[in-house]
């Protein structure tokens, strides 16, 4: 029998790419998403790629009654992959309560129901923001968790602590927290990709929207950081590579191969790239010009961070496969495809 996986936030960016990989590997997927930052047509893209339309329920996981009803109806769920959360660093600085409420209450509702229904496996969508500005680079999983730079980062720190505490209280429960660096790009089919509602907060969608003419110019947040070109440095990871890591983590849980009941893995390329380098690489690999101007720093940004992904490489047998050039090209192809469809 096919194993059933609940993917919360499965209509969203990383969620939708993960649903594709799960369905390609033969898992049965049920998605819960409130569509607060995603659109339902993503399900059509998933269906076109995989030939399977995933089961979908639209509700807010902060609603404890709806969440409980859902879990009572879906007793056969073997693994939960929890993506559903707000994710914009800058916005979280402006609206901290919204971030704490949304990201933490939904997690607690899910965990409570997992415990009640004896669902033993959780893959949690975490972030390199849990490290704040690390003292040493590249950052390993053993790096101290320092004070988060933003409420968003803090919700990820607190979420990991909540999961850890619950696991310590219950030997049956196991979780893997995947700490992503910066996911970018789109599925090679250009049928799904990053689809921010309104003005994009993240760098690459802002670049693709500028290149296509939807935005006048990209604002580069700061050129006075202690980095070679003065702009911030991140580790940009291809979203399909990232999605595949979730399937590996899920298999590890189901095969009971975890070494501890709560494990954390960094998911990145191990390479730090500056904002200006991203702009240049985008221009080179797509042939498109990106207008930009340098503006002041953005609140909540760390100066530089990139991963040491050796532990994930060795322990999960997973590594990134797609280059930065092809990843930026995939983001551009997605932007073009999405706009041509909209204009049909």
If you count them, how many residues does the chain have? Answer: 344
Instruction: Report the nearest approach of ligand UDP to the CB of residue 60 (Å).
Output: 23
CA pseudo-torsion sign 174, 29, 40, 288? positive
CB nearer to ligand UDP: pick between 174 and 234? 234
Residue 301 binds ligand UDP (CB under 6 A) = yes
- From first CA to last CA, the distance across the chain in angstroms is 41
- Residue 109 · residue 116 · CB < 8 Å: no
Binding residues with ligand UDP: total (CB under 6 A): 15
Out of 218, 273, 316, 324, point to the residue binding ligand UDP (CB under 6 A): 218
User: For residue 227, what are the contacts with CB-CB under 8 A and spacing of at least 6?
Assistant: 233, 274, 303, 304
CB burial of residue 150 (10 Å; 0-12, 13-18, 19+): buried
Residue 100 a catalytic site member: no
Q: What is the dihedral of CA 34, 37, 39, 45, to 10 degrees?
A: -110
Instruction: Report the nearest approach of ligand UDP to the CB of residue 175 (Å).
Output: 22
Residue 81 binds ligand UDP (CB under 6 A) = no
The residues in 97-156 that bind ligand UDP, with binding defined as CB under 6 A, are none
Residue 202 binds ligand UDP (CB under 6 A) = yes
Q: Contact letters (x/-) for ligand UDP, 259-278, by CB under 6 A?
A: ----------------x---
DSSP state of 69: H
CB nearer to ligand UDP: pick between 221 and 282? 221
Q: Which residues bind ligand UDP (CB under 6 A)?
A: 89, 182, 201-203, 206, 218-221, 232, 234, 275, 298, 301
Catalytic residues: 152
């Amino acid at each position: 029998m096919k194993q059933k996986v609940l993917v919360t936030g499965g209509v969203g960016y990383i969620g939708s790419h993960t649903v594709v990989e799960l369905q390609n590997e033969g898992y049965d997927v049920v998605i819960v998403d409130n569509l607060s930052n995603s659109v339902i047509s993503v399900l059509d893209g998933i269906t076109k790629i995989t030939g399977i339309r995933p089961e979908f329920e639209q509700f807010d996981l902060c609603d404890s009654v709806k969440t409980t009803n859902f879990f009572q109806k879906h007793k056969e769920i073997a693994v939960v992959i929890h993506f559903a959360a707000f994710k914009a660093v800058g916005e979280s600085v402006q609206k901290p309560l919204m971030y704490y409420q949304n990201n933490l209450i939904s997690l607690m509702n899910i965990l409570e129901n997992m415990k009640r229904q004896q669902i033993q496996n959780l893959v949690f969508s975490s972030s390199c923001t849990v490290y704040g500005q690390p003292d040493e680079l590249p950052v390993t999983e053993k790096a101290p968790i320092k004070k988060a730079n933003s409420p968003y980062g803090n919700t990820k720190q607190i979420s990991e602590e909540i999961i850890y505490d619950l696991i310590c209280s219950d030997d049956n429960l196991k979780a893997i927290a995947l700490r992503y660096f910066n996911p970018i790009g789109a599925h090679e089919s250009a049928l799904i990709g990053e689809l921010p509602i309104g003005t994009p907060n993240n760098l690459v969608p802002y670049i693709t929207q500028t290149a296509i003419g939807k935005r006048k110019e990209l604002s580069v947040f700061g050129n006075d950081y202690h980095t070679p070109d003065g702009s911030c440095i991140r580790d940009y990871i291809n979203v399909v590579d990232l999605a595949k890591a979730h399937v590996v983590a899920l298999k590890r849980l189901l095969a009971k191969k975890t070494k501890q009941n709560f494990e954390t893995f960094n998911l990145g390329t191990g390479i730090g790239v500056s904002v200006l380098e991203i702009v240049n690489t985008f221009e080179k690999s797509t042939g498109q010009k990106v207008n930009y101007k340098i503006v002041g720093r953005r609140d909540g940004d760390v100066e530089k961070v990139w991963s040491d992904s050796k532990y994930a490489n060795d322990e999960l047998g997973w590594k990134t496969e797609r280059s930065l050039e092809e990843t930026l090209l995939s983001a551009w192809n997605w932007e073009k495809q999405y706009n041509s469809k909209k204009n049909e």
